[in-house]
Amino acid sequence: MNKSIREIKEELGSAVWEEIPGLLENYASDTRSGVRLLLQKYHKQEENLRKEKERLDQMREYERQYGDCTYICGIDEAGRGPLAGPVVAGAVILPKDCEILYLNDSKKLSAARREKLFEEIGKKAVAVGVGVVSPERIDTINILQATYEAMRMAVNALGVEPQVLLNDAVTIPGISISQVPIIQGDAKSVSIAAASIVAKVSRDRMMVEYDAEYPQYGFAKHKGYGSAAHIEAIQKYGPSPIHRQSFIRKFVNH
């Protein structure tokens, strides 16, 4: 006797992705409209998954190029442009066979997706390092030098020494490890994409905590970037202790 549509739906719903093609083939001759719709849905999901795996494979070009290295580390930062808060760098070493679906440049992902990927990266990575440089330090040495400092801190926090660093666009001074600067690297390398997510989520979480401390500025919403509401708050309340004085001069009355 044929399985009911409900039974087929439950079977497909509980199957792992590797089992789906076989199940789709098994039910290919079933002419019931409910089954046809189910198969259409899963064929579409299978096609989307295939495309996602192809995209990720293209993002492993640099990892393949340096495949002789045991540890390949991606480096990226978050928070170079905001008026307030730290600049944060992420360093991530992924296993050679690691697959993290939907890994991408953090700016192309929703906050919810970034949070999920952040947790998955933490579970699957060989090592994760985070470097944080304060607003005061940014004002003292400038944002570019502060970014380099955060990146060096992130590498030192890994716990293992990588053989090569894949960096998003920059070459970090003061590091003896071989470096490969890649323009728009967070969209071209899975390692850099993972680092961009670690940096972004780490910094966003800090800014949410600062929002509880300084609620009048709205840090949880704009994360310290120069939105109209943020600039208005600076002009109304004056700068907070986490504002970058060198960034807000034109917004503050002297």
pLDDT digits (tens, 9 = 90+) for 37-63: 999 998 888 899 899 999 999 999 999
Three-state DSSP at 79 gives coil
Beta strand 164-168 pairing with 178-182: parallel
Residues 104, 143 within the same domain = yes
Assess contact for 158 and 134: CB atoms under 8 A: no
What's residue 16's pLDDT? 78
Residues 39, 159 within the same domain = no
Of 225, 168, 227, 154, give the one whose Cα is nearest residue 196.
168
CATH of the domain at 121: 3.30.420.10
What's residue 15's pLDDT? 83
Q: Which domain holds residue 16?
A: 5-58
How far from chain centre, in Å, is Cα 226?
Answer: 22
Residues 49, 170 within the same domain = no
Instruction: Give the CA distances from residue 97 to residues 64, 122, 157, 166, 202, in Å, rounded to whole numbers and listed in that order.
Output: 11, 16, 23, 17, 25
* Number of Cβ within a 10 Å radius of residue 47: 10
Residues 182, 214 within the same domain = no
* Cα–Cα distance, 30 to 222 (Å, whole number): 52
> Of 201, 220, 238, which one is at a domain's C-terminal end?
201
DSSP sequence for 176-237: -SEEEEETTGGGT-HHHHHHHHHHHHHHHHHHHHHHHHSGGG-HHHHTT---HHHHHHHHHH
Residues 195, 216 within the same domain = no
* Cα–Cα distance, 42 to 253 (Å, whole number): 60
Residue entry with tokens 């600067």: 181
Residues 84, 193 within the same domain = yes
* Number of Cβ within a 10 Å radius of residue 11: 15
* Cα–Cα distance, 54 to 70 (Å, whole number): 24
What's residue 252's pLDDT? 83
Mean pLDDT in each 10-residue stretch from start to end of the chain (254 residues)? 84 83 89 90 88 95 96 98 98 95 94 97 98 98 98 97 96 97 96 97 98 98 97 96 96 72
Instruction: Give the CA distances from residue 81 to residues 121, 129, 207, in Å, rounded to whole numbers and listed in that order.
Output: 25, 21, 14
Residues 225, 190 within the same domain = no
- pTM for this structure? 0.88
What is the chain's length?
254
Residues 180, 217 within the same domain = no
Residues 166, 232 within the same domain = no
Residues 33, 147 within the same domain = no
Residues 73, 116 within the same domain = yes
* Cα–Cα distance, 51 to 45 (Å, whole number): 10
